[in-house]
Structure formats: C-alpha cells, structure tokens
Amino acid sequence: MTASANELQTAIFAVLSGDTSLTAALGGAKIFDHAPANVAFPYLTFGRTSIYDWSTGTENGSEQLFTLHVWSKAKGKQETLDIMERARALLHDQPFTLESQALVNCRMELAEARFDEDLAVYHGLLRFRAVTEPA
C-alpha cells in the first residue's frame, strides 16, 4: 500500500514541476520532498502523507491524504496564495496518470495561509485526498 503513495507523489511531482506557470511563480523548479539548506524563497515542499485501506470485499484501493507546503518571504500573502492556487488548479479533480494505479479522484480538502512568526515566512498548506486502485 505504501508503494501507491510513492507512485502518487512521483506523479504529483511530475505534474507540478512540468507546469511553466508554477515554476515561474517559484522562480525555478523549486519543488522538494525535503528542501535543501539555503534554498531561495519561494519554494514548495511535500509534507505529511497518510494512507488508509479503501478496499471492499471485491475491490482493492487506498485513500491517501497528502499535504503540500508553500514557503515565501514576500511582503504579504499574495505570493503564497498565488502559488497555492496554481497547485490546486493542477491537482484538484485533474486526471493525472499513475504507473500501476488508477487515480479515482484527487480533491483539495483544506487550504490555509498564515505568517509563521518563528520562521518569519508566509506558510501555505494544501491538503488533498486521493483515492487510488490497482490499474
């Protein structure tokens, strides 16, 4: 079941990094599983992934909750919100392709943007729910 999470993240990375509007907003291909030290702002990282068995008596499947984080040092939230909206548009209800799984759906469940006082950055969080089944 965890293989489907890796496959989903690989597909999401391909969708996000392949979009010229998003990479332009980030100032380059700055989409990371774990951000390297001293990376320039803004950038996007993958966050927590939770996987749940979604199988029935006759079909196998999984539900995955995953998060994306947007990090910005711009003055105000606008840059963060713009990047969040572009990522949402690329993933919400979009039919992207997985290798051995079929994507049943991918929907955004939560979006939050706030100023993180401790880090002095704007932090955007997007949480999605994806349902997959074997192809």
Q: How many CA atoms lie within 13 A of 71 on its CB side?
A: 17
pLDDT of residue 56: 85
Sign of CA dihedral 74, 83, 44, 71: positive
Name all domains of the chain by residue range, CATH numbers in brackets. Answer: 2-134 (3.30.2000.30)
- Separation between Cα atoms, residue 98 and residue 102, nearest integer Å: 6
pLDDT in tens, 79-127: 999 999 999 999 999 998 999 899 999 999 999 999 999 999 999 999 9
pLDDT in tens, 34-57: 999 999 999 999 999 999 998 888
pLDDT at 1 over 60: no
Torsion, CA 48, CA 35, CA 38, CA 27, rounded to 10: -110
